[in-house]
């Protein structure tokens, strides 16, 4: 179940109540007149079956509530209610498969910011990866994968491509375009310093690290694993499955491959650096491709449900056009 907290001017709040009352997937509607301040207006509380959350929020957006008021969305972990069970039965599909698109957009928006903390995580992850390569220790490679924050911008790029959001795309590309080069450059600098101080051996051959050599040896499995991980990553994002997302992070060698570019460059092994760069490019491309395809399928399902909902005669009671969205009605 999803809990909505809606603040809207009195006239808009009445129309919102018509939308909520008409849906069998909505329950526990509470209306407090004049209870809200900043912005002033009525307060409406309600619970919605997760499967119908984005459809209902879509109607509330058509009422222009985000501009004149606000809509807050919260997840309900436990709902002990026969009415809640009936509301979920009235909504087609299963709660575990439902995608709340506003939640996905908010989550990816937060993870696509080019911030100091993001760059630091990228740099530190690649430092761990570089040490793992020098010591030929897979456990450190896994640690670098978990620490790396690169999946956030990659997911943001997928959402941007599916929803045609150039602002998301620019922010995601900016984060990736700064984070990876910064991490690679500092991994190279750190390796050079380790060689200069004698901590790292001068005779180390990057191409001969037996246990971690897979991070610079791209093949079909590199593509297939990254593709499957991209699908799982997007599914975990849209369904809030954090455990599955951790599995994605430790199955794709983006961070270790980038680390290996820096290490190989420090030792002048350009063949190894090229292999690592190819591995990185294959993984990034596979993840984005898989993410876009997965989101596209999920989005098509939502669009079909939304179009069906637009034909619901109950929309007329809220002053919304039947058969098309308010936005399209204004254009027409």
- In the predicted structure, residue 25 carries a pLDDT above the cut 80: yes
pLDDT at residue 243, as a whole number: 53
- In the predicted structure, residue 259 carries a pLDDT above the cut 60: yes
Integer Cα distance of 208 and 55 in angstroms: 55
The residues with which 43 forms a beta bridge, in sequence order, are 7, 32
The full set of domain ranges for the chain reads: 2-97, 105-304
Q: Are 237 and 108 in contact (CB under 8 A)?
A: yes
SS3 content of the chain, % helix, strand, coil (to 5): 70, 10, 20
Integer Cα distance of 320 and 302 in angstroms: 20
pLDDT at residue 312, as a whole number: 86
What end-to-end distance do the CA atoms of the chain give, in Å?
Answer: 36
pLDDT at residue 127, as a whole number: 95
Task: Give the predicted TM-score (pTM) of the model.
Answer: 0.84
User: What does the pLDDT look like over 117-165, one tens digit per residue?
Assistant: 999 999 999 999 999 998 888 889 888 888 888 888 998 999 999 988 8
Q: Are 66 and 4 in contact (CB under 8 A)?
A: no
Rg of the chain over CA atoms, in angstroms?
A: 25
Cα separations in angstroms, 67 against 40, 47, 60, 163, 306: 13, 22, 11, 21, 22
> Architecture of 2-97 per CATH?
2-Layer Sandwich (3.30)
- Give residue 258's pLDDT band: very low, low, confident or very high (50, 70, 90): very high
Q: Are 44 and 30 in contact (CB under 8 A)?
A: yes
Please give the average per-residue pLDDT across 61-69, as a whole number. Answer: 93
pLDDT at residue 148, as a whole number: 87
- Give residue 246's pLDDT band: very low, low, confident or very high (50, 70, 90): low
pLDDT at residue 297, as a whole number: 92
Q: What secondary structure letter does DSSP report for 321?
A: P
- Give residue 325's pLDDT band: very low, low, confident or very high (50, 70, 90): confident
- Give residue 245's pLDDT band: very low, low, confident or very high (50, 70, 90): low
3-state class (DSSP) for residue 217: coil
Please give the average per-residue pLDDT across 230-235, as a whole number. Answer: 86
- Give residue 14's pLDDT band: very low, low, confident or very high (50, 70, 90): very high
pLDDT at residue 285, as a whole number: 93
């Amino acid at each position: 179940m999803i809990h909505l907290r809606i603040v809207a001017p009195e006239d808009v709040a009445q129309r919102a109540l018509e939308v909520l009352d008409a849906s069998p997937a909505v329950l526990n509607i509470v209306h407090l007149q004049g209870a809200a301040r900043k912005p002033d207006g009525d307060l409406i509380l309600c619970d919605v079956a997760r499967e119908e959350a984005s459809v209902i929020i879509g109607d509330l957006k058509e009422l222009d509530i985000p501009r004149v008021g606000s809509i807050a969305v919260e997840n309900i972990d436990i709902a002990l209610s026969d009415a809640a069970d009936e509301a979920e039965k009235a909504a087609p599909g299963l709660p575990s498969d439902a995608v709340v698109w506003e939640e996905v957009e908010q989550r990816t928006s937060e993870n696509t910011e080019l911030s100091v903390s993001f760059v630091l995580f990228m740099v530190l992850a690649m430092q761990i990866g570089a040490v793992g390569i020098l010591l030929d220790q897979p456990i450190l490679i896994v640690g670098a994968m978990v620490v790396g924050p690169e999946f956030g911008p990659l997911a943001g790029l997928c959402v941007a491509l599916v929803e045609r959001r150039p602002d998301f795309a620019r922010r995601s590309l900016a984060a990736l375009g700064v984070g990876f080069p910064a991490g690679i450059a500092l991994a190279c600098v750190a390796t050079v310093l380790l060689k200069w101080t004698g901590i790292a051996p001068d005779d180390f051959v990057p191409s001969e690290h037996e246990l971690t050599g897979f991070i610079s040896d791209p093949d079909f499995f590199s593509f297939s694993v990254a593709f499957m991980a991209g699908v799982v990553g997007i599914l975990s994002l849209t369904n809030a499955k954090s455990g599955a997302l951790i599995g994605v992070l430790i199955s794709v060698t983006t961070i270790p491959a980038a680390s290996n570019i820096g290490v190989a460059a420090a030792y002048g092994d350009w063949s190894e650096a090229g292999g690592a760069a190819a591995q990185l490019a294959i993984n990034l491309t596979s993840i984005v491709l898989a993410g876009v395809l997965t989101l596209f399928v999920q989005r098509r399902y939502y669009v079909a449900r939304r179009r069906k909902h637009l034909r619901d005669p109950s929309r007329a009671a809220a002053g919304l056009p039947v058969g098309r969205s308010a936005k399209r009605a204004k254009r027409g």
